[in-house]
Structure 1
Amino acid sequence: MATRATWLTRQAAPPPESRDAVDVSDYSLELVPIPLVVATLDAGGASTRSYNRAFARAGLRDELELRPMVEQFLGSGAQNAERDWQTGAAVERRHYRVSFARLTHRAEPACLVSFVDQTAEVRTEETLRREMTTDSLTGLPNRGGFTDALEATIARGAPCWAVLMIDLERFSRFNACLGSLTGDELLITAARRIKGALRGGDTLARTGGDEFGVLMTIDQGCDEADHVARRIRDALSTPFRLSEYELRVSCAIGIAYGDAAVGDAEDVIRHAQVAMKKSKATKNAESYQTRALDSARAEFAMETALRRAIENGQLNLVYQPICDLATGRVSGFEALARWTDDQGLRHEPSRFIPVAEESGLIVPLGRWALDCAVRTLAEWDVLAGGNCGVTVSVNLSPIQLQRDSIPALVEQALASAGVPGERLKLELTESALIADPDHIARVLMALKRLGVTIAMDDFGTGFSNLASLQKLPIDVLKIDRSFVTGLLTDRDKVAIVRAILGLSQALGMDTVAEGIEANEVGQTLAALGCTYGQGYAYARPLEPHEAYAFLRARNA
């Protein structure tokens, strides 16, 4: 191999088909703004460089990184190669796309190297990236920027760190009542306060409408995150003075911890959000617990399965008898939903009903239960050759009362089954009355015009207003099972039941006691003045054909 290296430049590559035959003397021309370098290397490593004017203006002549790049390519044996390269600190930092092409016609190893200046494109991309990862209102990183920072922390293998998710409570109400401008001002001020409560190296981002995220390193222990959370809560506890308003803002804070073993940034954020949801209930900063996410995932899985079960008609109703405590005769049945999935697993109503309410599935579930119960009652009438002599009770969720047109649905169901409204009893809880008393009153009045009986379920466990109770068209009070269980041995429960019975008699309402499991309890309730009762002392919830057989046997 020769003992010298020669570097020559020009600004246009020869056509691909003639590149190997190019004359090095042509490399003094300037044809297009793409500098080219031709290098001939020898074993001694000495080099001689010559440049065209454009190559010199680009500031590449003093860059010592060029020679190792060429040496590496020629030593690799490849015919062509490309790589990205940027200039160092000696000149203005610029970005290039470098292409290598081996010159095979020369006796010594040589290559043609082209530099395409990509600085403008790279800077534009960086600018767009900054805009995409920055919240335009607060100037903080947005969700994407926060995720990038978290992924960088994970990539560095940081030994211990924490993510705090902060939710400003009641913000949506402020925004709706006071306007978006005041809401924006509140967010900006809150961001400044939170930033002031953090340490120097902590990262603050706005990850949602009223949600902020904090990424902090842990040096001494988990107490550091708790301490920062307390400082944030203290900073936000001071009233916000915006325009002529003084607003008090509380927050929920969820904390999730990470270490070098964590591999997914989104998992950590999700863990912190699960803890934040718990914080809304406890009003304290909460740390993520594995069981909380497992429970949330189980609920989402149940929601998916429940939606499929409703669509495929996999649920069924069972009927628990309601008996006259004085005579023992069956006066009605309460319809209760039951669900057995494809694997034969039976799900308790106490588990899937709350999931249905939270997800909104309670609306289609309630519609199905109403139609199914009324049709079953009509079928019993057919079997009895006329009115079978009982009513059927269906539970109404507060969510369904708010979202659905209950009177129209009831009227349609009754008409479709050919059942009069007097045969249907609708049960609602005290919480339904509290949510929107005026709306509920209009709904109940419309139902009463259809002849439907209205019952208040689980009476005594909520916070119903007695004045509202007097004004609403309620026909029946159902005494919660918590007051019935242990009635024979607890004088306080006897006093509570006696008070409920006195109230119902004063308002002209019937009473139904739930959870009667012994005949002695039923007899005691009857002596106190209770009208009806239901529970295992009479019968468990029965399938439709079993319920009809029980009715025929009991009322024969």
Structure 2
Amino acid sequence: MRLRFGLQARYLVGMTLVLALVAGLVVVLMARQTALQDEIDRLGGEAVRSMASESMERRGTAMAQQLSDALANPMYFSDMQAIGDIVSATARQPDVAYVLVFDRDRRVLHDGSLDITRYGQPMEDPLAARAASGSGPLVQWSDQVLDVSQPVRVGGETLGGVRIGYSLKQVRGTQLKAAQSLRGHLATLRERQSQLLIGLLVVLGVLLLAIAAYVQRTVIRPIRQLSEATRAIGSGDYDASHLVSRRQDEMGELVRSFVDMNARIAQHDRDVRRMAYTDALTGLTNRLAFRESLDHRLMLLRGAGRELALLFADIDDFKRVNDTLGHEAGDEVLVQFAHRIRATVERLGGDDALLARFGGDEFVILVQDGQVREVASALAEQLARDLGQPLVVQGRQVFLGTSIGITLFPEDASGATALMKNGDVAMYQAKMAGKNCYRFYSRAMDQAVERRVRMEQELRGAWERGELSLLYQPIHRLSDRKVVGAEALLRWQHPQLGSVPPSVFIDVAEHSGLIEIIGPQVLRTACAAAARWGAGLAPSDLPFVSVNVSARQLHSGDLPELVAGCLRDAGLPASRLHLELTETAVISDEAHASALLSKLHRAGVRVWLDDFGTGFSGLSHLRRVPVDGVKIDRSFIADLQRDPDDLALTTAIIAMAHSLGITVVAEGVEKEAQADLLHERGCDLAQGYWFGYPMTSAEFDQLLR
């Protein structure tokens, strides 16, 4: 095409000038970057040398002080054997060039050799004069050694002194390696940044050229046809094929560019419609599209005598992934789950199966081919098997699984809303049945939901009615099997329901928020009971009480104030109260938990991590969160004698916790052999039926006596 100095030519010239200007700026930036990195290299080398020198001086001064203290008595009693042992041990260190012990007359008493070759000789090296006459620690440098001296005194009398010489050859070699490593890293960084800048320049040039080409195709259009075409686009008609121009000037170009723009708008409209019905993360059908498809299918199936199955799948314990590994890991888990579910549905669900992500960690599947009950059962069973396999997320294995609820049309419901509600109820029952399984909806499930609602209502006011009470399970010290404390356990004796298991009503209290009312009452009662225990016993023999604290209480933020008030009202010392929290409760918001626990720790309250070893946290979090103890979960203790893996893991937890100064408690000890194994591995405390069943406060007080 003939190039005229019109709009197109002017634009190309302008883009060329901009590109040249950017290239000049990149060259200047690269030069400045090189000078800056050279300065960083110089300063880094100086910093390395300064830190190495300071480190050697601190080490030498500390070692000289230790030798001075250790040599005082041997020099006072002229014990040459003891002096030789002390000096020889120090002289064997790899970077120590010499160790000299001298008397008041600056004569050598010992030089670290077996025959003391320099015994009685005066010290005549250039550093000797200042070293011998110094009244305190003295550091001197020469080209070859760092000399650190320290007088040796007994009372106010100076017996002589000690000198330690450190060879600088190894230190300088280390400094040289560090400087070379730093220069190598800076050179690599300089090369990468240069490549990046060049790449950016290339990308910018390509981008400018692309923009120039785009403007060339789209700016010049026949303006007299734009009004009609614009009205057509406004009404949703994107058929602009009638806009044709054979002109080679700006007007002809404008017409052809407008046709291209119209096609792009049409494609964008199709993309927007597709995005509205697709889940952005997994690429599956989204909630809106699923509901429309479900309504459409139900309308077609009504009166046709055909069935449809809806499978409602929810990932088990997915919240733990977000809390412990982060939301990016959670997204990766969802994508991997979506791929597994899609593969299984394509294999077993039939041609008309529809898979959608319903939101969060929930997936729904529609099945309507063949015998839908049998197909849904086989599909759900295979999904539970496939999704129960471990996932690899960020280099770590994650075990999750899924709970699936199945409901049928028209057997269970005739409308979409009721059908999805039934699927959700069935899924919840699958979770209650142990997770990673499936359940078909039944009318009885609605009754189970009603019972849970009723239990929540009955739980309100249960403390005031005297139905809730505390029992105390003794905690023994394994070294002497002595009772040192007790764990407060909440029990519910309902007038009609009888004894309600804690695993049932505490879960209800957690999900309903009632735990925030019951928790402070439990803490207050346990503190008051502990204050009455062991009257007449020595203070060192008084037991502690441990109380479980829920995640809701920890996250509320007022836990330290609540604990302080309970201790004050009961007159119980803070050291006799231990709070137990789960790993997930602590690490779900580690910074917040660390601040609260530090406040409790300063007040003297001990903090334990309960059910340790079952979460995702690992021992790394123990270094960042102030805890005093961990309780090994009973699942590891149960198979301690039969399972070598449980024994090895328990032993490792004990060893690593002790290395951090953390007390280890084992729960669920039911056999003497378990207690003996734990004692051999160094476990500190234990509780379980072997030591004692939960008992009332009065019975525990009698046990102490």
Q: Which TM-score band (shorter chain)?
A: 0.5 to 0.7
* Match in the other structure for 2:657: 504
After the TM superposition, which residues 79-478 of structure 1 pair with which residues of structure 2 at under 5 Å, given as runs?
159-162=305-308, 164=310, 220-222=370-372, 256-259=407-410, 267-275=418-426, 288-290=440-442, 293=446, 295-343=448-496, 345-380=498-533, 389-478=542-631
Q: CA separation of 1:149/1:464 partners in 2, compared to 1, >3 Å: closer, same or farther?
A: closer
The C-alpha deviation readout for 1:231-272, integer Å capped at 9, x for no partner, is xxxxxxxxxxxxxxxxxxxx9996521337868986544212
Contact preservation (8 Å) 1:160, 1:260: no
**1:162 to 1:327, Cα distance in 2 relative to 1, 3 A:** same
Unpaired runs of 5+ in structure 1?
Answer: 1-136, 178-200, 231-250
Q: Is the 8 A contact 2:533 2:543 kept in 1?
A: no
Q: Which moved more, 1:508-517 or 1:268-277?
A: 268-277
- 2:698 maps to which of 517, 541, 545: 545
How far 1:294 moved relative to its partner? 5.2
Distance in 1, matches of 2:288 and 2:480, equals: 72
- What one-letter code is carried by the residue in structure 2 that aligns with 1:410? V
Equivalents in 1 of 2:669, 2:360: separation in Å? Answer: 50
Question: How much does 1:438 deviate?
Answer: 0.7
The SS at the match of 1:272 is helix
Aligned twin of 1:116: none
2:610 match: secondary structure: strand
Does the CA-based 8 Å contact 1:318-1:338 persist in structure 2? yes
Q: Which amino acid aligns with 1:504?
A: A
Calculate percent identity across the aligned residue pairs: 37
- Cα root mean square deviation, aligned: 4.9
Question: Does the Cα contact within 8 Å between 1:160 and 1:219 map onto a contact in 2?
Answer: no
By how many angstroms is 1:373 displaced? Answer: 0.5
- Alpha carbons of structure 1 residues 211 and 426: separation in structure 2 relative to 1, 3 Å: closer
TM-score (norm 1): 0.54
Distance between the aligned counterparts of 2:666 and 2:539, measured in 1? 29
Take 1:354 and 1:286, find their aligned partners in 2: how far apart are those partners?
21
Cα deviations by residue, 1:105-133 (Å, 9 ceiling, x for unpaired): xxxxxxxxxxxxxxxxxxxxxxxxxxxxx
CA contact (8 A) 1:335 1:394 kept: yes
- What residue in structure 1 maps to residue 671 of structure 2? 518
Q: Within 1, Cα distance between the matches of 2:362 and 2:680?
A: 58
Instruction: Give CA deviations for 1:162-205 in whole Å, capped at 9, x if unaligned.
Output: 475889999xx9xxx9xxxxxxxxxxxxxxxxxxxxxxx999xx
Q: Distance in 1 between matches of 2:667 and 2:364?
A: 48
CA distance in 1, matches of 2:677, 2:363: 58
Q: TM-score, normalised by structure 2?
A: 0.44
Distance 1:158 1:358, change over 3 A: farther
> Structure 2 counterpart of 1:364, which letter?
I
- Aligned-residue offset at 1:153: 9.7
- Deviation, structure 1 residue 398: 2.0
Q: Which residue of 1 aligns with 2:84?
A: none
Of 350-359 and 421-430, deviating more is 350-359
Q: CA deviation at 1:333?
A: 0.5
Q: Structure 1: how far apart are the matches of 2:496 and 2:360?
A: 41
Determine if contact 1:160/1:257 at 8 Å carries over to the other structure.
no
State the shift of 1:366 in Å. Answer: 1.6
User: Amino acid of the residue matched to residue 270 of structure 1?
Assistant: K
Structure 1 residue 215 displacement after superposition = 9.9
Shift of 1:518: 2.2
Amino acid paired to 1:451: G
> 1:165–1:211: 8 Å Cα contact kept in structure 2?
no
**Deviation (angstroms), 1:529:** 1.1
Structure 1 residues 263 and 394, CA, compared in 2 at 3 Å: closer, same or farther?
same
Q: 1:347 to 1:485 in 2, by over 3 A?
A: same
Residues 1:534 and 2:687 are matched in the alignment: yes
Q: Which moved more, 1:420-429 or 1:337-346?
A: 337-346
Per-residue deviation at 1:489? 3.6
Aligned mates of 1:285, 1:164 — CA distance in 2? 16
The whole-number CA distance in structure 1 between the counterparts of 2:611 and 2:700 is 23
| Alpha carbons 1:165, 1:273 under 8 Å: kept | no
> Shift of the alpha carbon at 1:494?
2.5
Segments of 5+ residues of structure 2 without an aligned counterpart are: 1-275, 278-286, 328-351, 381-401
3-state secondary structure, aligned to 1:517: coil
Distance in 2 (alpha carbons) for counterparts of 1:510 and 1:488: 22
1:473-488 alignment to 2 at 5 Å?
473-488=626-641
Residue identity matched to 1:256: T
Q: Do the aligned partners of 1:433 and 1:464 also contact (CA within 8 Å) in 2?
A: no
Q: 1 or 2, which has the higher helix percentage?
A: 2
C-alpha distance in 1, partners of 2:313/2:666? 43
SS in structure 2 at match of 1:351: helix
What is the aligned length?
Answer: 369
Which whole-Å CA distance do the structure 2 matches of 1:257 and 1:325 have between them?
Answer: 57
Structure 1 residue 341, shift from structure 2 partner? 0.6
Please list the CA deviations of residues 255-295 of structure 1 after superposition, one character each: whole Å capped at 9, or x if unmatched.
52133786898654421232466899999997743375554
Counterparts of 2:623 and 2:589, CA distance in 1: 16
Partner SS state of residue 309, structure 1? coil
> Are the structure 2 counterparts of residues 313 and 405 from structure 1 closer, same or farther at C-alpha, using a change threshold of 3 Å?
farther
- Of Structure 1 and Structure 2, the greater strand share is in 1
Distance between the aligned counterparts of 2:500 and 2:482, measured in 1? 31
User: Aligned-pair distance for 1:359?
Assistant: 2.1
